[in-house]
Amino acid sequence: MYYDVYLGGLMPRHLAKLSQKYGPIIRIAPDRVHVNDPEFYKRLFGPREDFIKAKYYYGNLGIAESIVTIQDVKAHRILRNSLNPFFTPQAALDQRPLILDEIKKLLITLRKRNRDTSLTDLQRILGQLFVNLTCRTLFGLHDMSKIDSLTIFDGISGWFASFNIALALPLIPKIALKLPDWLTARIVPGYLCILQNVRVCIEKCNARTKGSGTLTQYDNVFDMLQASEIGGHQFNETQLLHEAIELLAGGVLPTNTTASYAIYFILTNPQVLATLKMELAGIQKTADGIPICESSKDAPYLTAVVKETLRLRPAAGPGFLPRVVPSKGVFIGDTFIPGGTNISTSIFSVNTNPALFKDPLTFNPDRWLGRQSKDLEDWFVSFSKGPRMCLGKHIAMLSITSVLAAVFSNFELTLHETDEESMDWRDQTLLINRSHVMAFVKPINLPSSDTNIPRLKDPDSVILPDLFVSWASTPIQLNANYAVVAPEAETWFQEVCKHDEKTHQKYLKADFGYFAGTWAPDAEAPEYRTTIDYCNWIWAFDDPFDEGSMKGRPDLIKPEIENVLSVMSDNPQIFSPEEHPVMYTFQLIWQRILKASSSPQPLDNEDGQYLLQFRNLQKVQVNKVKMIMQSILIYI
């Protein structure tokens, strides 16, 4: 009680210290054992569900009938199966229009509030976004009037702040809920606010459903839950209410905490910020300036930043997550734990285990990139593991990365009174930081058509081989986006590859922006940008073979070709800009090309048709490219 209640949630860190002193198995109460052992974590949260959730913990959170707290394995399986269709990777992508809509509102809000540099409670504003997004996906709401998003966010935060007291003294909240509302609000802060707003959401959802008649297909989570019978299991009114509260809270607080901590970690690590800025500059954006990040392949470094944030600050629950030992008992090494014992381990202890993570308390996104990342994926447990793992992990990752990409692409942020002390964390069932992230927010001016970079205006005449006359001797038509897009592409490529001034000038004189602009005069800005980036990349990739360090060196050439093949494979190796900037740019370009290709088609041999297809970045024949590269490998 001292570490959980009086100190406000420091027990996980205290147990980590005790484990260093006394070993991995610690008895913390007559019927409670805590284990600091990553391998046992896999057993405890394994697929067989031998260890059921502990009633003393999950039965005292005030939402005993939700998917998170329910103890009965069969009932949980029925409930999870009914919800699964709404939380698949594809279902998350289907929600992207809603995510983009809420991000647009966020950008407008931040720009209005920050016409000049001004101080902003970023965590609270992001909380409003995640409340809106969760209500819209959970209840199918498009009209958010009568829903006070900021009040809901404050209510959820206050409610979880009281959880440790509820767990230590479970009678208090049970009695409090029977008292007059004004007194309940003081004892269990936030709960009544959440309850009232969830009921409003349910009423609006029901009104929408009645207005549309009988639903034959459920377009939101609550419609599915309200179906009279799902898998032979009837949901009563209490279950529906508890499930709605749990899904709302679970969709808001962990995502908000993760996004807020990610902002803090990015801004306190200048190299991380610089690398992220470079990656975002190379990602296609919507007309509203929102980067298009539909998967980890679109923004591998940003994804690594979010995963590293989740490793150090597992927002969905850093602490106990206790289970009950099966009646036959269990051996942990040579130690026997009898059946019926409440047993726990923690995500925090796995995430900071030095045997798994080098320098475990250091924020290092690069650990999730490159070859070593594949070994670590098995230990990415911040969403838990097994049948009881976080249901919303896919939409959480998509929404967090989308929000961060939009914020850092459109604003310059400077932290204010936000430091290691203010961001110290507590375990209150979910992970909570002590104070909100505060920052000065300044909009980034969008690039104009004016640029100081010298551009090729009137190209010299040249004598062309006959092969090129048919398509190059006609009057030149230049892409209208040349003046804006070409400088952006050149600056980005220089920053990613860390070119010195001499090399940068060489690329400027080559002017691949002009070259690509005559190739693709009618292309939209995103496709035109990809063509420029590809031209810059192919020169950087090819030059070492012809004139540089790899000339006549098959031992060096072979690994580079294998790297290219890996990027184009179904299970690509992820490169970081620090480890291999040239291959890093290729993996970003390749993802854009794949998206632009509706389906793989063979390329015709006719030069005109080939150029037309390449210009539009359409119908790239992936297998043919791979075959050519593999043939080169055999030759080498």
Read off the CATH number of the domain in which 483 is found: 1.10.600.10
pLDDT at 633 over 70: no
Token pair recorded at residue 18: 């005790």
Handedness of CA 152, 308, 428, 267 (dihedral sign): negative
| 397-417 average pLDDT score | 95
Angstrom distance (rounded) from CA 498 to CA 577? 10
pLDDT at 8 over 70: no
Of the three residues 393, 411, 443, the one that is the final residue of a domain is: 443
449 within some domain: no
Task: State the number of CA atoms in the 13 A half-sphere of 452 facing the CB.
Answer: 0
453 within some domain: no
Q: Do 412 and 489 share a domain, yes or no?
A: no
Handedness of CA 297, 300, 305, 309 (dihedral sign): positive
pLDDT tens by residue, 567-590: 888 788 888 888 888 889 998 888
| 450-473 average pLDDT score | 49
Model confidence, pTM: 0.74
| 485-490 average pLDDT score | 90
| Residue 316: CATH number of its domain | 1.10.630.10
569 within some domain: yes
Which residue did the predictor score with more confidence, 141 or 234?
A: 141
Q: Do 235 and 328 share a domain, yes or no?
A: yes
| 494-507 average pLDDT score | 88
pLDDT at 380 over 70: yes
Q: Residue 449 — very low, low, confident or very high, per pLDDT cuts 50/70/90?
A: very low
Q: Do 408 and 552 share a domain, yes or no?
A: no
pLDDT tens by residue, 289-319: 899 888 778 889 999 999 999 999 998 877 7
Contact status, residue 37 vs residue 24, Cβ threshold 8 Å? yes
294 within some domain: yes
451 within some domain: no
pLDDT at 206 over 60: yes
Q: Which residue range(s) make up the domain with 484? A: 466-635
Q: Do 240 and 347 share a domain, yes or no?
A: yes
Q: How many domains is the chain partitioned into structurally?
A: 2
Q: Do 421 and 509 share a domain, yes or no?
A: no
| Highest mean pLDDT pick, 52-66, 93-107, 236-250 | 93-107
Which region among 131-145, 246-260, 343-357, 595-609 has the lowest average model confidence (pLDDT)? 595-609
As a whole number of Å, the CA-based R_g of the chain is 28
461 within some domain: no
Q: Can you give the pLDDT at residue 85?
A: 83
Q: Can you give the pLDDT at residue 7?
A: 66
Give the number of other Cβ atoms within 10 Å of residue 469's Cβ: 11
Which residue did the predictor score with more confidence, 255 or 428?
A: 255
| 122-145 average pLDDT score | 86
Q: Do 511 and 399 share a domain, yes or no?
A: no
Which residue did the predictor score with more confidence, 446 or 576?
A: 576
List, in sequence order, the alpha helices (H) in 8-121: 11-22, 38-44, 55-58, 73-83, 89-94, 96-113
pLDDT at 366 over 70: yes
Q: Do 197 and 290 share a domain, yes or no?
A: yes
Angstrom distance (rounded) from CA 114 to CA 99? 22
457 within some domain: no
Of the three residues 443, 458, 478, the one that is the final residue of a domain is: 443
Which residue did the predictor score with more confidence, 154 or 601?
A: 154
Of the three residues 443, 475, 507, the one that is the final residue of a domain is: 443
Laid out side by side, the sheet with 411-415 consists of 118-121, 438-443, 411-415
Q: Do 63 and 154 share a domain, yes or no?
A: yes
Angstrom distance (rounded) from CA 168 to CA 151? 27
Q: Residue 388 — very low, low, confident or very high, per pLDDT cuts 50/70/90?
A: confident
pLDDT at 451 over 70: no
Contact status, residue 466 vs residue 440, Cβ threshold 8 Å? no
DSSP state of 46: -
Contact status, residue 38 vs residue 353, Cβ threshold 8 Å? yes
List, in sequence order, the alpha helices (H) in 220-299: 221-226, 237-267, 270-281
Q: Do 198 and 122 share a domain, yes or no?
A: yes
Q: Can you give the pLDDT at residue 459?
A: 47
Q: Do 79 and 172 share a domain, yes or no?
A: yes
pLDDT at 616 over 80: no
Q: Do 534 and 436 share a domain, yes or no?
A: no
456 within some domain: no
Share of the chain above pLDDT 90, in %: 25
Q: Do 222 and 324 share a domain, yes or no?
A: yes
Q: Can you give the pLDDT at residue 177?
A: 67
| 487-509 average pLDDT score | 88
List, in sequence order, the alpha helices (H) in 140-269: 149-161, 163-168, 171-176, 181-187, 191-211, 221-226, 237-267
Angstrom distance (rounded) from CA 322 to CA 57? 7
Q: How high is the mean pLDDT of the chain?
A: 80
Q: Residue 117 — very low, low, confident or very high, per pLDDT cuts 50/70/90?
A: low
